[in-house]
Structure 1
Amino acid sequence: MNQHGKINYIELPCRDLAATKAFFSEAFGWGFVDYGPDYMAITDAGIDGGFYKSERCARTEQGSALVVLYSNNLEQTLQQVVAAGASVNLAIFSFPGGRRFHFIEPGGNEYAVWSE
């Protein structure tokens, strides 16, 4: 439901739309709707959003916001992410409230996955 003043949609840069689509479909079961050659919307990802074609990417080292996904089984999700083609740039580590790891997906963006 749309709510006034609440985050409603997130758009992310992407160097390779086809590779990003294949990765998130395989690793997390996300769906996509293509809107021409330079944009695709995300479905079944927990929040509405999309990817737009860009030579830039979202990385924390460049000051970007970090999209963090949740997992019921962190080790299994790590294996899925690697099998789907991501590279792990921060191995599993503990932080107050849980554990997490960071990865770079084939489109160039950095994400994290956390668990209690």
Structure 2
Amino acid sequence: MPTSPREGQPTWIDYTCQEFESTTNFYSEIFGWEFTDQGPDFGHYNMITKGGATVGGAMRAVHMDGTPNPLAPAMWTTYLHTDDVSGVYAASLEAGAAPIAEPMAVGPLGQIAVITDPTGAGVGMWQPGEFSGFDTPLTPGTPVWFELMTVNYPVANEFYGHVFSFDIIPMEGFPYATHGAGDDAVAGICDASEWTQVSFWRTYINVEDVDATAAKVTALGGMVLAGPEDSPYGRIATVTDPEGATLQLQQNP
């Protein structure tokens, strides 16, 4: 995966939930993650790290004004790199996206915005300032792949190609495309219309042993939705945490 972010490359993930302490304890047990509160100036947003590598962020579900949002489901959000968050945000709305959070500065760290794409998936954008995004050492407990599961594959390809400058490379024999080819690929778009009624972005977290991790997920109150099963890209399982947010587990081939 390229280390210098290109336009549209996933550069950050974060998590929102209701029961913050118990759910973050779940992730600490599963992946060995550490959560560090950034204090009141950042709304008690937590940075997630693993072995010194920055993995993402986490916080309780709140409204934009900072008040608790008890109706918000637990979920992971993927953020895509951009050098022009205002321009990409405007272009996304013109292309049929719906606004969630308009561009705003996060101190000196960078600028953020969040939309719902035209196929119904929530996705963020990040223009770096002092902070570029997560680390991707591709080691256990860190993110290794990101993909949009969409109910409208043609619209998704057109939207991300136009708005986020995805270099759409179709996969032969399967309705799947990547942003970039081969080792330069940084994200995928999958026609998931046979398996889901809603579009969403999902993240793959590398683990040493998918079967053992999936069993631990169940023991700690999560669920295994699919797998574990072998694939050309390693052994894979789809799981949820105790609040229902989904993640992919990936073990190297």
Same fold (TM over 0.5): yes
Q: How does 1:1-116 map to 2 (within 5 A)?
A: 3=4, 5=6, 7-34=10-37, 35=39, 39-44=45-50, 46-54=53-61, 55-58=72-75, 61=196, 62-115=198-251, 116=253
Q: Structure 1 stretch 94-103 or stretch 36-45: which is displaced more?
A: 36-45
Cα 1:32–1:80 change in 2 (3 A) is same
Q: Residue 102 of structure 1 contacts residue 112 of structure 1 at CA under 8 Å; is this kept in 2?
A: yes
The CA deviation at 1:82 is 2.0
Cα 1:107–1:12 change in 2 (3 A) is same
Q: Distance in 2 between matches of 1:28 and 1:56?
A: 22
Superposed CA RMSD:
2.7
Q: Structure 1 stretch 46-55 or stretch 3-12: which is displaced more?
A: 3-12
Q: Distance in 2 between matches of 1:7 and 1:69?
A: 14
Q: Distance in 2 between matches of 1:4 and 1:101?
A: 27
Q: Distance in 2 between matches of 1:38 and 1:67?
A: 23
The CA deviation at 1:112 is 0.9
Which of structures 1 and 2 has the bigger CA Rg?
2
- TM-score, structure 1 normalization: 0.76
The CA deviation at 1:98 is 2.3
Percent identity between the two aligned chains: 23
Q: What SS does structure 1 have at the residue aligned with 2:16?
A: strand
Q: Residue 8 of structure 1 contacts residue 47 of structure 1 at CA under 8 Å; is this kept in 2?
A: no
Q: Residue 14 of structure 1 contacts residue 52 of structure 1 at CA under 8 Å; is this kept in 2?
A: yes
Q: How many residues are aligned here?
A: 115
Larger RCO (CA within 8 A; separation ≥ 6): 1
Runs of 4+ in 1 over 6 A off after TM superposition: none
Cα 1:89–1:68 change in 2 (3 A) is same
Q: Residue 8 of structure 1 contacts residue 48 of structure 1 at CA under 8 Å; is this kept in 2?
A: no
Unmatched segments (≥5 aa) in structure 2: 62-71, 77-148, 150-195
The CA deviation at 1:86 is 1.3
Q: 2:79 maps to what in 1?
A: none
Q: Residue 222 of structure 2 contacts residue 244 of structure 2 at CA under 8 Å; is this kept in 1?
A: no
**Superimposed CA distance per residue, residues 61-106 of structure 1 (whole angstroms, 9 cap, x where no aligned partner):** 4322111111222222222222222111113123233221111102
The CA deviation at 1:58 is 3.3
The one-letter code of the counterpart of 1:18 is: E
Q: Residue 46 of structure 2 contacts residue 57 of structure 2 at CA under 8 Å; is this kept in 1?
A: yes
- TM-score, structure 2 normalization: 0.39
Q: Residue 17 of structure 1 contacts residue 53 of structure 1 at CA under 8 Å; is this kept in 2?
A: yes
